[in-house]
């Protein structure tokens, strides 16, 4: 499926000694080509754009040639590190139709 598509995966944010479930929601659709990450992110999470793009490109997958928005929520929980790369890539793969719906159902993806 080539956009528009919506998908959700789950990840975890560690704040102190507490883990918080994070929804990783992706919209893939038409419009100017862009890859945007939103939701109280530190610099290392914002850099996930480059890491995820490189991973798709190294696999020969051209899924980022459309408008992609990845929202990590809830917005009030700080997110840091590269722990959201896998869940972001999986959510993009779902939203763009690379993998079947439900492929990551009941899974929390960290890495």
In a domain, 36, yes or no: yes
Q: Which CATH number do you get for residue 60? A: 3.30.230.10
- Give the angle subtended at the CA of 83 by the CAs of 100 and 58, to the nearest 5°: 60
In a domain, 30, yes or no: yes
In a domain, 106, yes or no: no
In a domain, 20, yes or no: yes
In a domain, 35, yes or no: yes
Domain residue limits at 20: 5-95
In a domain, 52, yes or no: yes
pLDDT of residue 2: 47
User: What's the domain count of the chain?
Assistant: 1
Predicted model pTM? 0.90
Pairing of strands 34-38, 5-15: unpaired
Three-state secondary structure call for residue 68: strand
Is the Cβ–Cβ distance between 26 and 2 less than 8 Å?
no
The tens-digit pLDDT sequence of the chain (111 residues) is: 344 699 999 999 988 899 999 999 999 988 888 888 988 888 888 788 899 999 999 999 888 888 999 999 998 888 888 889 999 999 999 999 999 888 999 999 998
């Amino acid at each position: 499926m080539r956009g528009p598509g919506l998908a959700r995966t789950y990840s975890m944010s560690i704040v102190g000694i507490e883990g918080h479930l994070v929804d990783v929601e992706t919209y893939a659709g038409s419009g100017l080509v862009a890859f945007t990450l939103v939701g109280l992110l530190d610099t290392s999470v914002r850099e996930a754009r480059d890491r995820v793009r490189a991973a798709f490109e190294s696999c020969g997958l051209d899924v980022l040639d459309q408008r992609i928005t990845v929202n990590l929520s809830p917005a009030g929980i700080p997110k840091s590190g590269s722990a959201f790369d896998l869940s972001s890539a999986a959510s993009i793969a779902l939203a763009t139709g690379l993998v079947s719906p439900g492929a990551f159902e009941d899974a929390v993806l960290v890495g």
